[in-house]
Chain A
Amino acid sequence: MTEEVKQIIASYVLGCLDNKNLAQFVEYINHGGKDTEAELGELQNIVSLIPTLLSFENPPDYLKDEVAQKILESEYLTRELKANEELTNREEIKVIESPPLITKSTNTKIEKPIAPKTKKKIFFPILLIVMMIFMAVAIIWFYFQNQGMIQRLVSAEKKIRLKTEEIKSTRKILNENMILAEFMKNQNLRLVEFAGADSYANARGKMIISLEKGEAVLSFSINGELSSDEYLKIWALTKRSEIYLGQIDFNPVKYFYKIEKIPAISENEIKLFSITIEKRRVVELLPKRILMTGKVR
């Protein structure tokens, strides 16, 4: 035995080989290890005498029960493992003993082969495809429904807008005509027809006047617009003077203008009615510009 082998054996029996050398030595022993020449066993016996020098001491009494308990647990686990292994083996046997796919009947007629159990495998993909188709159809259906709804909403909105405009217009006409309707309740009404008197603006109009009440309603049209600083004054011409009846601001969308607080004048005295165009800001003295003149019919 070489010194090196002696050293390794001594280290092994004292338990001071590191894990790497220990694994190598164990491997060596397991494969014969003839170089140890029984010295290994002799030294193992000697070194294992070391604990005999310690004072003997019994472990606590409960420890024996603990050992028993652990062993029971370990046995239970072992049995469980074995049972599982057996179960697995049985399942494997079952697979081997499963019936052939094609069976022969007694009258030697070849039956249809038993379909392999692919139903479960196919069922879910088919279900998935059907669901996808259903969802696609539902999406398309909802899309067209939505489009139709949108069109109907747009159309309804347009109708509502038109109706609103109609109502506005009607209300406006009613408001406008209301002035006339109210005025027509008066008695001794006189109609004055105006004709254009200005060469620059072609205008014409009518005025219904109640001299008793001192009110009148004027309606006229004018070709062209008045500027924002222009307005109209209505006059009554008598033999002696020119009497101011009232004034109006031209509004192209207005049909009727009501004139109130007309001074009391006898109908016989009036020779002519006139409407003049006036400037709000009079910078210089300009000759009066007569738009229309009219007489009582």
Chain B
Amino acid sequence: MSKYLNLTEVELINKIKRKDPRALEELYDRYSPILFPLAKKIVNDDKKSENILVKVFLILWNRVELFPENTHNLYVWLVYITRNLSVDHLRRKLEPTETKLYDSDYEKKFIIPILDSKIDPLDLKTALEIKPKFDEALNMLDETQKQIIHLSFYEGFTVDEISEKLFVPIQKIRQMIADSVFALRNNLLSE
């Protein structure tokens, strides 16, 4: 196992592409402690969070070819898959009649993220190193901005829904969403 412990995420991904289960196990060991609480935070249910985590690693195993290898950014890919699966679960629970059939096409369109080809590489270790700075950057946002980020990322609200919830016109809320995200970036970069 020590051999795999020292492998980079990109190396592990390449092994997964060759259907090496030990590579997947290594990634599971690395990522499950952060992805599991993320799913739990969104769906607020242990058992369902477990199911979501299983699904995340199944996607990683079965659809690894969709991972944009050139980005070297497995961290963002896995975080978004977990977040999107969890929010999708919430939506299916709240609007069972309005949700689409979950099939391969749906998964590709709405669960697996499209990463910007110019995105900087980011792995779990680096992300954890940035964590304190990020915490500060987030705390520098005002309460509304924090709320907008929470409602979007964790609660899965759409733009329209946030607009209704905060009693803010839709055009204004779009601007507020953009301001929140860019303010977070600016705060982080200015640290």
Chain A interfacial positions (CB closer than 8 Å to B): 3, 6-7, 9-11, 13-19, 21-23, 26, 29-30, 36, 38, 40-60, 63-64, 66-68, 70-71, 74-75, 78
Is B3 located at the chain interface by the 8 A CB criterion? Answer: no
B114 within 8 A of A: yes
19 examples of A-B residue contacts, CB within 8 angstroms: A10-B182, A15-B84, A22-B110, A23-B110, A29-B114, A29-B116, A30-B114, A40-B116, A41-B118, A42-B120, A44-B76, A44-B80, A44-B115, A46-B134, A47-B181, A48-B80, A51-B37, A63-B54, A64-B25
Please judge, given known A-B contacts A3-B178, A56-B37, whether A14 and B149 are in contact too, CB under 8 Å: yes
Q: A15-B156, A51-B35 are in contact. List 11 more A-B contacts (CB 8 A).
A: A3-B175, A15-B153, A40-B116, A41-B71, A46-B184, A48-B79, A59-B32, A63-B32, A64-B32, A68-B21, A71-B24
Q: Which residue of B lies closest to A29 (CB)?
A: B114
DSSP majority for the B interface? helix
Sorting the interface of chain B by its residue count into under 10, 10 to 19, 20 to 34 or 35 or more gives 35 or more
B62, CB-defined interface residue at 8 Å: yes
For residues 127 through 184 of chain B, which have their beta carbon under 8 Å from a beta carbon of chain A? 127-128, 130-131, 134-135, 138, 148-149, 151-153, 156-162, 174-175, 177-178, 180-182, 184
Flag if B178 contacts A50 (CB, 8 Å): no
In whole angstroms, how far apart are the Cα atoms of A68 and B159 in the complex?
38
Chain B hits for A13, CB < 8 A: 181
Are B38 and A16 interface neighbours, CB within 8 A?
no
Interface status of B5 (Cβ within 8 A of chain A): no
Interchain CB contact (< 8 A) of B28 among A44, A56, A67:
A67
The 8 A CB mask of B18-37 against A (1 = contact, 0 = none) is 01010011001000111111
Main secondary structure of the interface of A (DSSP, over half): helix
Name the CB-closest residue of A to B175.
A7
Question: A74 and B58 in contact (CB under 8 A), knowing A18-B159, A48-B75, A52-B34?
Answer: yes
Assembled-state Cα–Cα distance A23/B100 (Å): 13
Q: How far is the CB of B128 from chain A (nearest CB, A)?
A: 6
Query: Quick check: A10 and B116 within 8 Å, CB to CB?
Result: no
Contact call A71/B116, Cβ cutoff below 8 A: no
Residues of A within 8 A of B62 (CB): 74, 78
Min C-beta distance of B112 to chain A, whole Å: 10
Smallest Cβ distance from A60 to chain B, in angstroms? 7
CB-contact partner of B159 in A16, A46, A66, A67, under 8 A:
A16
